[in-house]
Structure 1
Amino acid sequence: MDFGWNDEQLAKYEQTLSDVRVAFPFEDTARSADHYRREDWLRLGKLGLLGLSVPARYGGGGLGALDTARQVEALGRGCAETGLVFGASAHLFACAMPLVTFGSDASREELLPGMCTGELIAGNAITEADAGSDVSRLAVTARRTSGGWLLSGEKSFVSNGPAADVYVTYATTDPNAGHFGTTGFVVRRDTPGLTVGDAMEKMGLSQCPAGTLRFDDCFVPDAGTLGEPGQGGVIFQHSMGWERACLFAGYLGLMDRVIDQCVEHVRTRRQFGRRLSDFQAVSHRIAEMKLRAESARLLLYRACWEMDQGSPATLSVALSKLAVSEAALSSALDAVRIFGGRGYQRADRIESALRDAVPSVLFSGTSDIQREIITRELGI
């Protein structure tokens, strides 16, 4: 079993990390709580980070899941604006990848090149007020009409929603068919009948705007359908495989960055005439942070490797998502404790790492949902 990266992969990681640090300098704290700007998005596109796993024919990098995750990891380590990292990942894994596999030829040709360059921002519209984890009972409906579908209802917590140019969404087309009664769609922002809500106030991931979408007999042509009618549940789970594995590589990067900060802090900070690193309670806390990060990293890499082998990887992806999100949250809290009062201030971005880690145990399926998947895969 090979645990090493080849020279090309190592060089690509280091180059991406360096490019991201230049493009999004850590010292730029003044706007850390603001939403990202179009120029930020275009910068990500120029670095090739918005189309990593999209086929080259559409302007993407053509990478597999494992190499894609490694680049997202570099992005998460180099960019302290985790909301931007999250928004870019949601754009790629929850929107671009369903288009790659299930979109019509017309939709792929029209949208994917712009999504890779950053000219287009995509929003993932699945969550509803009464349908968070249970996406088999969507209140948004789509009914057949001449040449397409009419969508009606409201989506909430649409990542990138207020800024997006295009949305991937799901609606109930057959209420009696359960998981086979949902269909996926691609909808442009300027479509009549679509109303985009304002950005909501959030605890973390503040750079990524999220809001509501309202569909009022919003017409989507047949070319805007993802896959076949009734295939929405399968398409959504396919996108979740990419998201739960590759998106969370950004949190591996966050953990690496925070561990680096903690190591530097305890080496230079003195209390009671001694370096903080000389206190076992402090140094052992960092050892636990490193243990969590490396354990989660191996699970994530294995999940991505299985995906590249064509395996469903359901168990590995659930284990990976659970491990990475819980590790990020625990380690961010440990970092606040290590930094003490400074950790509660904004300058070092430690408190923002904690706020950004909290939603990781909620989105893409809560930690409890991942445990349910794991027990189901074990036959319990």
Structure 2
Amino acid sequence: MQYLDQADHTCDSHLPGLRKALQDVPLDILESSESPAIALFRELGGTNLLVPSAFGGCGADALDATRAIRALGAVAPSLTVGTMMHHFSLGTLFAVVDAVGEGSDLRELLQRVVTDRLIVASGFAEGRSGQGILSPTVTARPTDGGFLLTGSKKPCSLARSMDLLTASVGMRQDDGSVAMGFLMLPADTPGVSVHPFWGNPSLAGAESDEVRLEDVFVRPEQIVQPDPQLRDEMDQLQTVGLIWFQMMVAAGYTGIASALVRRVLEQGRGSVSDRAALGTRLGSAVCLVEGLARSVDAGELGNDALGHALVTRYAVQDAIADTVRDAVELLGGMAYIASADTTRLAMATQAIAFHPPSRTSIAPGLVDHWAGGPVLVG
């Protein structure tokens, strides 16, 4: 079995033609701001990877999803990082869709996402220090006939290709508290605008710019407001979402690192022991991700599972850092000089450290968890 064969096969089974189409584009083009990768992702069905089969999607389970994402990470880092929040957003919204009735705007939009292969950008709080992923980034002010929304998300992946923006919305209640609602908004809604933000050439193809909402009018029925009495259910939804997010982050960046390892193996760089050590280290990260995926598929989605997901993510993060350092060294100075591909792949892996929660912010929660308490993510 060649390196990445299993992941490649899984990806090709769920998304026929996508990986091959991406491989046919030079890496410098795929990773640029003019990348065709997102358009290929849409055209070849990548948008529906995690959409339940009952809605007409691929219905990939957690294990298959991590393998497909790893395979895509090895050929198109920007695409893989950029679409993490597309997958996360759809997973979250399909989880709450049962809370709304038939014929609702949300149900109709979600069905359009599937049939029209729409790109969904995320206005959830990923990237904001001290916030849970589902924490509101947008506030809603009552007005005649509905609400005016104000807020921004930066960086917001897929900003220039998005068809829809999904977000959590802070809804002020009569008692002064703020309840959370969910919203899926067409990208061409008046008041929605995109502004340059991402200044780093690494991962430029992820389209991670700023999306602003300035007095955007929405009707009440466009916002899904879960029953405030169901706090336990909302906490569970956030836990499940965070588990899935850590799993996808670990899978995607493991894939990017795998591209470097594959080059070392194919070119026979270093000694046999060097190559075996490199493959073993990254293979251990793959085993951790797949172990987490199997737990998710088995229904282990509680607070202890969140602890498992966070440990997996940080262990994978460390393994990737060591793997990339050694892979770049083994590929050698001439590979570094002759092409920027080694640099592009190595730099792309560094961004795993910037996805929430940060190692520093979660340290007290993990230590308390190991002492017998719950994992609390601030």
Residue 83 of structure 1: aligned partner: 78
Contact 1:194–1:213 at 8 Å: present in 2 too? Answer: yes
CA offsets 1:321-362 (integer angstroms, 9 cap, x no match): 212233223322222222232453473622111111111111
TM-score (normalised: structure 2): 0.79
Residue 375 of structure 1: aligned partner: 367
TM-score (normalised: structure 1): 0.79
The unaligned stretches of length 5 or more in structure 2 are: 1-5, 374-378
Contact 1:142–1:171 at 8 Å: present in 2 too? Answer: yes
Residue 124 of structure 1: aligned partner: 122
Task: Calculate percent identity across the aligned residue pairs.
Answer: 23
CA RMSD of aligned residues (A): 3.5
Contact 1:69–1:247 at 8 Å: present in 2 too? Answer: no
Q: How does 1:95-134 map to 2 (within 5 A)?
A: 95-103=89-97, 104=100, 106-116=104-114, 119-127=117-125, 131-134=128-131
CA offsets 1:286-322 (integer angstroms, 9 cap, x no match): 4443233222222222222222222222112112221
**1:264/1:361 CA distance change after superposition, 3 Å:** same
Contact 1:152–1:216 at 8 Å: present in 2 too? Answer: yes
Deviation at 1:100, TM superposition (A): 0.8
1:134 aligned counterpart, secondary structure: coil
Deviation at 1:266, TM superposition (A): 3.8
Residue 43 of structure 1: aligned partner: 40
Decide which of 232, 256, 259 is 1:257's aligned counterpart: 259
- Whole-angstrom distance in 2 between the partners of 1:221 and 1:349: 48
- Whole-angstrom distance in 2 between the partners of 1:115 and 1:36: 24
State the one-letter code of the partner of 1:160: L
**1:179/1:296 CA distance change after superposition, 3 Å:** farther
The unaligned stretches of length 5 or more in structure 1 are: 1-7, 268-275
- Name whichever of 53-62 and 362-371 sits farther off: 362-371
Decide which of 344, 348, 358 is 1:352's aligned counterpart: 344
Residue 181 of structure 2: aligned partner: 183
Residue 220 of structure 1: aligned partner: 218
Contact 1:162–1:197 at 8 Å: present in 2 too? Answer: no
Residue 311 of structure 1: aligned partner: 300
Residue 325 of structure 2: aligned partner: 333
**1:191/1:46 CA distance change after superposition, 3 Å:** closer
1:149 aligned counterpart, secondary structure: strand
Residue 5 of structure 1: aligned partner: none
2:167 aligned counterpart, secondary structure: strand
Deviation at 1:128, TM superposition (A): 8.6
Q: How does 1:91-240 map to 2 (within 5 A)?
A: 91-93=86-88, 95-103=89-97, 104=100, 106-116=104-114, 119-127=117-125, 131-135=128-132, 140-145=138-143, 148-174=146-172, 181-228=179-226, 235-240=237-242
Residue 300 of structure 1: aligned partner: 289
Aligned residues: 355
2:87 aligned counterpart, secondary structure: helix
Contact 2:126–2:356 at 8 Å: present in 1 too? Answer: no
Residue 3 of structure 2: aligned partner: none
The answer to whether 1:361 aligns with 2:360 is: no
- Whole-angstrom distance in 1 between the partners of 2:112 and 2:339: 35
State the one-letter code of the partner of 1:314: L
- Whole-angstrom distance in 2 between the partners of 1:288 and 1:226: 50
- Whole-angstrom distance in 1 between the partners of 2:344 and 2:362: 25
**1:359/1:9 CA distance change after superposition, 3 Å:** closer
**1:147/1:314 CA distance change after superposition, 3 Å:** farther
1:24 aligned counterpart, secondary structure: helix
Contact 2:247–2:313 at 8 Å: present in 1 too? Answer: yes
- Name whichever of 351-360 and 103-112 sits farther off: 103-112
